[in-house]
Amino acid sequence: MDPAQCPELGRDGHLPLLPASLWPASAQVGWGAVFEQIRPLLADIARADDASHATQGLNALDQRLGLIRGRPWPDRPRREAAVLVGVFHDGGAWRLLLTQRTATLREHAGEISFPGGRIDPQDSGPIAAALRESQEEVGLAPGDIQVLGLLPGYVTVTNYRVAPVLAQVDAAAARTAIAASANSEVAHAFAVPLAQVLDPCQHVWRTYRREGVERRFVSMPAPESLSGLQAGHGPIWGATAAMLRNLYLVLAWSLCEAQMNAAAALHPWRNEY
C-alpha cells in the first residue's frame, strides 16, 4: 500500500507546537532532563495499562490524551517486540535515528521504522531486545545508548505488541550507523530533525479500506536527512508514525497542558481505528 495515495482526512494544526525550551542548543543539555518532565505522565499511562490489560481498545486515559494504541487484524498470533526511539544532537539540532526496511522482508517491507524487532527468549525484556536489535541492525553498541525509559506501547496490524524504548544516542555512533548500515533487514539508516516529526502540523491523517473494513492512520513526511534519503522512501506512517505521535502527545500534555485541554475541548481526537 502506498500511504501517500490514501485519502487525506486532515492535519492536526490546531494542536500546540512544543515549547522552544524542549530543543536545547547543545548536547550538554540532554534528553535526560526532558524525560524527567514526562516521567509522571508515563507512570500514569503504565498504571492505566496494568489496570486494563485484560480489555480491548483504549482505556479512559488513552482516550483523554488521544493516544494511538493500534489494533491487529483478526487471527494474527500475538508477538512481543521492542524498538529504539533514539535521539541525538548533531549539526546544532536534535535528530531522530530511523531505518528503512529492505524490500525483501515478508512483513512491513520497505517501510520506515525504528531500529528494533522481536523480543527473543534470551532477552531480559524490551530494553534488552531494543539494545540487541539496534546493534544487529545498525551497529550501535549498548555503551553508545543512554536508555531513558519506555513510551506507550503500540499494537501493529500484524499483532506485534511493540514497546518503544526512548534513549539518547552518542552522536558519533549515530553518524557511523548512518554511514555503514546495510544488511538483510535494513536498506539504510538516516536521521530526521526531531522538531519536524514532532510538529503536529506535519501529522497527516489518512484512511484506507481493506477487506471491506475502513482504517485510519497518521503519517508524516520524511524530511531531508543528514545523509540524504534514497529515492522512493515515502512518508513515515504505520507503527512508526503512531509512536512518534504518541511521543508528541506525552510531551505536549506534560509541557503545555492548558493548551492541550483547550484544543481537546474544541476538536474531537482523530484516532486510529
**Coil/strand/helix, residue 99:** strand
The whole-angstrom separation of Cα 120 and Cα 77 is 15
- pLDDT given for residue 51 in this prediction: 81
The whole-angstrom separation of Cα 201 and Cα 185 is 31
The whole-angstrom separation of Cα 238 and Cα 236 is 7
- pLDDT given for residue 20 in this prediction: 84
Residue 195, C-alpha cell as written in the block: 522538531
β-strand partners of 146: 168
DSSP secondary structure letter of residue 111: -
User: Of 118, 97, 96, 98, whose CA–CA distance to 107 is shortest?
Assistant: 118
Please name the fold of domain 3-266: Nucleoside Triphosphate Pyrophosphohydrolase (3.90.79)
* Other beta carbons within 10 Å of 75: 6
- pLDDT given for residue 223 in this prediction: 58
User: Of 168, 165, 160, 134, whose CA–CA distance to 150 is shortest?
Assistant: 165
- pLDDT given for residue 225 in this prediction: 43
For the chain of 273 residues, list the mean pLDDT of each consecutive stretch of 10: 82 91 72 93 93 68 91 80 96 90 60 91 97 94 96 90 96 90 73 92 88 83 52 74 96 96 83 58
